């Protein structure tokens, strides 16, 4: 089974992964089963990453597995001109699952087609980022115990943000879920979730924005602020201690979600 688009998972799959992730979150580290013992994950990253690559590696180690870390393909035969197909087929000779971050939307779908082992899309250009969506939904669900009926405001580089593209696909499929998009955040509408993203200069976007005291004063007490990170200027540090700041919790949830996902897929 591959995870290329969040639409590859139906609601039952998502709930099953959440249940597992909840169990992992509750457990003490020394109690994790070693159920991925003898399994090898290849991290194949054509773009920089801190959270996604590290949390996949940590997830694998927590469950007794191992990792081939190609966290910068410039040190691989890609520099010698090897194409994506050959690289993916090669990694399939050595590992049980490939986690691929690539530069172009559609790369993950292509790679999954030629791969001999399950392939997980860890972000394909400005396409999708389905595992981020799982951890985003998990974080929202933990707070509100539901997704339906919530108002979610997306701010920032909506066009280039693959995390927003995947999350919107789920919200779109749900009835009664409002989502609003705003680029310059002059006024943030009252919402349950504020999902902020950085301006992706590497994809040609320009401009900047920042959450102000005034925005924050107008945010409902029970709302939450999320961000896939890395952040630039959009969220000032002083907001980190606000109880509505959920981005570190969100990134920690990435570990449980990826542990759950790997046990589910492998």
Determine the Cα–Cα distance for residues 248 and 135; give it in Å rounded to an integer: 12
| CB within 8 Å of 91: residues ≥ 6 apart | 42, 44, 68, 70, 98, 117
Is position 221 annotated as part of the catalytic site?
A: no
List the x/- string, 59-98, binding to ligand NCD by CB under 6 A.
----------------------------------------
Instruction: Determine the size of the site formed for ligand NCD (CB under 6 A).
Output: 11
Tally of CB atoms within 10 A around 217: 7
Min dist. Cβ of residue 96 to ligand NCD (A): 22
Q: Which of 102, 98, 101 is nearest to 119 (CA)?
A: 98
Q: Which of 129, 143, 198, 258 is catalytic?
A: 129
Q: Which of 51, 169, 203, 231 is catalytic?
A: 51
Min dist. Cβ of residue 221 to ligand NCD (A): 27
Question: Beta strands of 149-260 (E only): which ranges?
Answer: 151-155, 178-182, 193-196, 224-226
Q: Which of 12, 80, 145, 221 is catalytic?
A: 80
**163 touches ligand NCD by CB under 6 A:** yes
Min dist. Cβ of residue 28 to ligand NCD (A): 26
List the x/- string, 121-140, binding to ligand NCD by CB under 6 A.
--x-----x--x--------
**51 touches ligand NCD by CB under 6 A:** yes
Residue 200 has what DSSP assignment? -
List the x/- string, 229-248, binding to ligand NCD by CB under 6 A.
x-------------------
Is position 162 annotated as part of the catalytic site?
A: no
Q: Name residues contacting ligand NCD, limited to 187-206 (CB under 6 A).
A: 197-198
CB 63 within 8 A of CB 34: yes
Judge if the upstream peptide bond of residue 81 is cis by omega within 30 degrees of 0: no
Helix (H) or strand (E) holding 70: strand 66-70
CB 13 within 8 A of CB 5: no
- Annotated catalytic sites, by residue? 51-52, 80, 101, 129
- Footprint on this chain of ligand NCD (rule: CB under 6 A): 51-52, 123, 129, 132, 162-163, 197-198, 228-229
């Amino acid at each position: 089974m591959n995870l290329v688009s969040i639409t590859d998972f139906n609601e039952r799959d998502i709930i099953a992964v959440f249940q597992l992730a909840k169990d992992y979150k509750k457990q003490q580290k020394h109690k994790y089963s070693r159920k991925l013992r003898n399994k090898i994950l290849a991290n194949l990253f054509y773009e920089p990453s801190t959270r996604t690559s590290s949390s996949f590696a940590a997830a694998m180690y927590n469950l007794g597995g191992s990792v081939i870390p190609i966290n910068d393909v410039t040190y691989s035969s890609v520099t010698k001109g090897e194409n994506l197909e050959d690289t993916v087929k090669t990694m399939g000779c050595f590992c049980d699952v490939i986690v691929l971050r690539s530069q172009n939307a559609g790369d993950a779908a292509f790679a999954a087609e030629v791969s001999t082992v399950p392939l997980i899309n860890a972000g394909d250009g400005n396409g999708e980022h389905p595992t981020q969506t799982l951890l985003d939904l998990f974080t929202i669900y933990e707070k509100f115990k539901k997704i339906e009926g919530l108002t979610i405001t997306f701010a920032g580089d909506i066009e280039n943000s693959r995390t927003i593209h995947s999350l919107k696909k789920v919200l779109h499929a749900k009835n009664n879920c409002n989502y609003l998009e705003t680029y310059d955040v002059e006024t943030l509408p009252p919402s349950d979730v504020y999902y902020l993203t950085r301006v992706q200069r590497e994809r040609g976007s320009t401009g900047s924005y920042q959450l102000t005291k005034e925005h924050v004063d107008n945010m409902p007490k029970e709302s939450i602020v999320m961000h896939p990170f890395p952040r630039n200027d959009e969220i000032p540090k002083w907001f980190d201690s606000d109880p509505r700041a959920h981005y570190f919790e969100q990134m920690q949830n990435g570990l449980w979600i990826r542990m759950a996902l790997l046990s589910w897929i492998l």
